[in-house]
Structure 1
């Protein structure tokens, strides 16, 4: 696939792999240019490349707002209805007002396309070389299994953005995205949505076998729990309820939900017992004004945060009981008394302090990609859609950890599904799920009656389900480089 985004040779090997890698490889020096044979000869070298992928999840790309997966998470929540811009701000504003989604020249739609395919290319470098590399079977399984997860995850994110939604029971012959399984520069057309999901599941199933028994050194690495969690996440999107429930249950088995005290501590420590996968931002590798915390925290002193702090949809906030710890991570009047914000921090109602940076002068904040809480919610939703009796009990087990006053729900059927979807909105706010959840459930975007300002959203307050803008345009530079790729409806 001849692309401006995935044409790079071993991009990840050029990145410093220090803090996000295991101790075995923490002494390796960064390499600016490494030949393919040298990078793939041994499993040790492949592990260095894998550590480079871990590191690439939080590097800055074309501009400081495009900070790896953290920036991509911001995009897919900002495009939804639950993150609110209280004032006009240039950061992802065209995503917030949906103008970027239908502009094939927009940097905002280039960002995910380029980023995910770069990760895929480097994952393919590992996958295609592992079997012939020098090293033990155990090491081969570890490095290949994680690379397969990266490839599956990136194809999954891409097809959700640029393809039409997957509909269980239908042919899903609509165009998805190019499936890239090699490192070469060949051109590939867009595969169907069905074909993309088939490849995603093939990679996930192999990773679930290869990573059995692997004990990862830290949460930047991907183990069997992450493989199971991704399998459950994908199955939920496909409407494969039984598979989603089964794998989500496996993924959360043996894990504990965080305490009420930990929940309000700032979502900035990837050692939290509930986190399954995340990035740790250490001082040596900080991106300063490009960190996730420089945009999504409330306490770092950046222009974005001081002038345009992120707020929660007021209608959603008002559905959170005062006895629920999650009501404490948003400030209804915007004062945030425990943060002692100075006068330079403009105050707006319903602003978030879910994510906290290390301090006003240090934007570092670890980034969560998967938590046990999501697995509870996947299992509960899938079982509710199947009509299984224990769906409400699973929801209760989850909710009790957030709200000690919560009582077992008597809802059944769609009412129970709706209750669980509400809990997803509250629990996963700011973690990159809302746009995808709206799209997979074929729901309309509805920002009306809340604290969204139609002047800031450029009038985009309602977008019906099925609107062509739910399918982001393919970047024009990609189409120019690869004539086999067809554009979505303009």
Structure 2
């Protein structure tokens, strides 16, 4: 996939503007008239295509948000992948180190609600930049076009817009069930005044999401040039996510079934070694394609740097900041489940890396390997080895692709959708078949949890590290439970607290620059910064 820098994507006066925050950041100018848009389509279609391709490149590009505005490099400025990591570090299951090298410490401690901080700024600007790019792509395509390629671009662009709003909505307000009439985030319509654009309600935002995805589904098929782009499977999968959030279980299950057509879950053998790093893995439906050029922009500050313990040039293995699983969750995974080996245990053992070597170290010896060049330190217990290295163990090329959607997620959505809609027998059948066939041959649904809590448990294990932790907890109206009292978790003391499901601190705050430039923004103000040790008696129904 070719990289198109934003600066070379501008078509004459075509500005890729979105909200006022973004206008001030990088773009200026005005939108094309209909006549000018048609001239572009007729005269330089290859440039329209370049701009279209640039939307997908943008999703994983480093240094396109914070650095562009503030001329300051940050090791956590890498778009939607950074957002996913922040959202999981704010959850209960993915632990980051409490040291000066952890660029996600703001998420771990929940100071990410401070409106002047870079973390919330990047997480807000990233989706709105993409929404602005979509808006202007759509402005260049005539409404009455019959050109199949332009219709396909339009459908893919609408899908990306829906994905962007899905990346915002769960974090700025409570669940659809409890808060559908409450303010969420601004919607960028064609006629909106970005300097006076109030927050739409949760229901209004999801209506926009479903409308975009329904149009896209009507105009897409299964074809595309690579998994980095969008097809009907992706649009169905995103609408399944939206319907699940809206409590429309039957609709979510139906869309999930369509999304998974043509895809098979990874087998037990396939996930019994570190993987989840290449978009060509057959169970991936949609991905961010990380090129070598992107990986080399900040060689040490990419997704593998934080998630892969096998990275030879990155913060994780070099500085002891590779993500760990909370012992509370790991203890609940049966020994017969292959996923137990996605993390090393308290004795630094996992069967999943038994045949891997890093220099002279093999298997469990890798945990204690220390390299003289400082690129590898000892790994602590419960460090994850779920994510392999696309370019090999110890590689300094951190070009791992990022999974945006996997068939396994769709199966779990399908199961939950049936459970919500009252067909628990079908939900149990789907869940049992998946886990027993692809993860744990000895699996039976345990009696100690509700069915929906069991499905949530499976999501927490299966999708760990992929960005679903907080959105799932919010959708299910669940607390963030990191510890059960003294000596029950491996969280650092500073990050060891629980947050009630209705705590207003769970709602993100708007960046200061957006509040300065959009006079209609009324920010979230409820709650307060968590303190160590708070709410030790909260339980979530899974790690109890």
**Coarse TM-score class (shorter-chain normalised):** 0.7 to 0.9
Q: CA 1:43–1:84 in 2, change beyond 3 Å: closer, same or farther?
A: same
Structure 2 CA distance for partners of 1:294 and 1:145, relative to 1, 3 Å: same
| CA displacement 1:6-35 (0-9 Å, x = unmatched) | 556779xxxxxxxxxxxxxxxxxxxxxxx9
Q: Is the 8 A contact 1:85 1:456 kept in 2?
A: no
Measure how far apart 1:181 and its partner are: 2.9
Question: Displacement, 1:65?
Answer: 1.3
Tell me the SS of whatever aligns to 2:286: strand
Q: Which residue of 328, 334, 343 corresponds with 1:315?
A: 328
> Where do residues 187-198 of structure 1 align in structure 2 (5 Å cutoff)?
187=195, 188-198=197-207
Which stretch shifts more, 424-433 or 324-333?
A: 324-333
Aligned residue for 1:59?
A: 61
- Corresponding residue for residue 106 of structure 1: 117
Task: Specify which of 348, 363, 367 is matched with residue 334 of structure 1.
Answer: 348
Residues 10 and 122, structure 1, Cα contact 8 Å, conserved in 2: no
Q: Counterpart of 1:243?
A: 251
Question: Relative to structure 1, is the Cα distance of residues 470 and 273 closer, same or farther in structure 2, using a 3 angstrom cutoff?
Answer: same
| Number of equivalent positions | 459
- Distance in 1 between residues matched to 2:275 and 2:434, nearest whole Å: 20
SS in 1 for 2:403: strand
SS of the residue 1:115 aligns to: helix
Q: Distance in 1 between the 2:25 and 2:38 partners?
A: 16
The question of whether the paired residues in 1 share the 8 Å contact of 2:156 and 2:216 is answered with yes
Taking a change above 3 Å as real, the CA distance of residues 230 and 10 of structure 1, as seen in their structure-2 partners, is farther
* 1:382-411 per-position Cα deviation (integer Å, ceiling 9, x unaligned): 112223121111112211233342345376
Q: Where does residue 93 of structure 2 map in the other structure? A: 82
Q: Indicate how the Cα distance of structure 1 residues 158 and 378 shifts in structure 2: closer, same or farther if over 3 A, else same.
A: same
For structure 1, the residue ranges without an aligned partner over 5 or more in a row are 12-34
* Residues 40 and 130, structure 1, Cα contact 8 Å, conserved in 2: yes
When normalised by structure 1's length, the TM-score is 0.87
Kindly tell me: are residues 37 and 68 of structure 1, through their superposed partners in 2, closer, same or farther at Cα, counting changes over 3 Å? farther
**1:254-403 aligned within 5 A:** 254-263=262-271, 264-286=273-295, 287=297, 288-301=299-312, 302-306=314-318, 307-332=320-345, 333-334=347-348, 338-339=356-357, 340=361, 341=366, 342-343=369-370, 344-357=376-389, 358=391, 359-360=393-394, 361-388=396-423, 389-403=425-439
Higher relative contact order (CA 8 A, sep 6+): 1
Q: Which residue of 1 aligns with 2:489?
A: 451
Change (3 A) 1:261 1:184: same
- Secondary structure at 2:452 match in 1: helix
CA deviations on 1:280-309 (whole Å, 9 max, x unpaired) are 222233242232112211111323333222
SS at the partner of 1:121? Answer: helix
Q: Specify the alignment match of 2:174 in structure 1.
A: 164
2:236 alignment counterpart? 228
| Number of the residue aligned with 1:14 | none
In the alignment, is the contact (CA less than 8 A) between 1:3 and 1:478 conserved in 2?
yes
Whether 1:3 aligns to 2:20 is yes
TM-score norm. by structure 2 comes to 0.79
Residue ranges of structure 2 left out of the alignment (5+ in a row): 1-17, 29-35, 67-73, 371-375, 527-544
Q: 1:345 to 1:38 in 2, by over 3 A?
A: farther
1:93 corresponding residue in structure 2: 105
Q: Contact between 1:279 and 1:366, CA under 8 Å: does it hold in 2? A: yes
Tell me how far 1:417 sits from its aligned partner.
1.4
Q: Does the aligned pair in 2 maintain the 1:125–1:183 contact within 8 Å?
A: no
SS in 2 for 1:277: strand
CA shift digits 1:351-396 (9 cap, x unpaired):
1011123243122211000000000000101112223121111112
Greater shift, 198-207 or 337-346, is seen at 337-346
Contact 1:94 / 1:100 at 8 angstroms: preserved in 2? yes
Q: CA deviation at 1:315?
A: 1.8
What per-residue deviation string (whole Å, max 9, x for no partner) do you get for residues 254-301 of structure 1? 321112232234211101111000022222332422321122111113
Taking structure 1 as reference, are residues 327 and 39 closer, same or farther at Cα in structure 2, changes over 3 Å only? farther
State yes or no: 1:125 paired with 2:157: no
Conservation of the 8 A alpha-carbon contact between 1:393 and 1:408: no
- Output the CA distance in 1 between the equivalents of 2:233 and 2:447: 30
Indicate conservation of the 8 Å contact 1:245/1:382, yes or no.
yes
